[in-house]
Amino acid sequence: VSYLPSGMPVPEPGPEDHQFWEACARRELRIQQCAACSHFRHPPAPICPVCRSFQSVWTLVPGTGSVFSYTVAWHPVHPSQRGKPPYNVVLVLLDGAGDVRLISNLIDVHPERLAIGMRVKLRWDEIEGGMLLPLFVSDEKDLASD
């Protein structure tokens, strides 16, 4: 079951990020990393913002991290969300990927219990068309029984 309601627009992989989405299809979270200076960057881009190298690799990261920031959307921003419960959007500071923060959803935590610094772990979410989105669940032991 998808976290967001059916009918939501889905990501459309382009020339810069298709390798990210192809890795997701294999249930691998890979972040683009400069082959020259090792700087991680996301969203993907053709040139390293630090050293301007065009060479990059796609580094597998463990899929754990912490909530860097978040918001809760109470109002529908798309017709498919009308009448649905509120949902969150989180920025996850990924472990093992420098200062990369991935925009995602934390799917198992009530809006009132969201907190900056909360430990999270990856959970693949299959959406319409079979695409896999990297979403997150709480990795905090005291919230596990909710």
Among 24, 29, 48, 120, binds Zn ion (CB under 5 A): 48
Of 21-29, 35-43, 67-75, 137-145, the segment contacting Zn ion by CB under 5 A is 35-43
Q: Does 119 bind Zn ion (CB under 5 A)?
A: no
Among 8, 17, 39, 91, binds Zn ion (CB under 5 A): 39
Q: Does 107 bind Zn ion (CB under 5 A)?
A: no
Among 10, 25, 51, 72, binds Zn ion (CB under 5 A): 51
Gap between the Cα atoms of 97 and 36, Å rounded: 15
Residue among 124, 126, 122, 114 at smallest CA distance from 87 = 114
Q: Does 50 bind Zn ion (CB under 5 A)?
A: yes
- Write the DSSP string, 14-77: -TTTHHHHHHHHTT--EEEEETTT--EESS--SS-TTT----EEEEE--SEEEEEEEEEE-S-S
Q: Does 57 bind Zn ion (CB under 5 A)?
A: no
Spatial CB neighbours of 20, under 8 Å, sequence gap ≥ 6? 13, 30, 31, 32, 42, 44, 58
> At closest approach, how far in Å is the CB of 23 from Zn ion?
20
| Binding footprint of Zn ion on the chain (CB under 5 A) | 34, 36-37, 39, 48, 50-51, 53
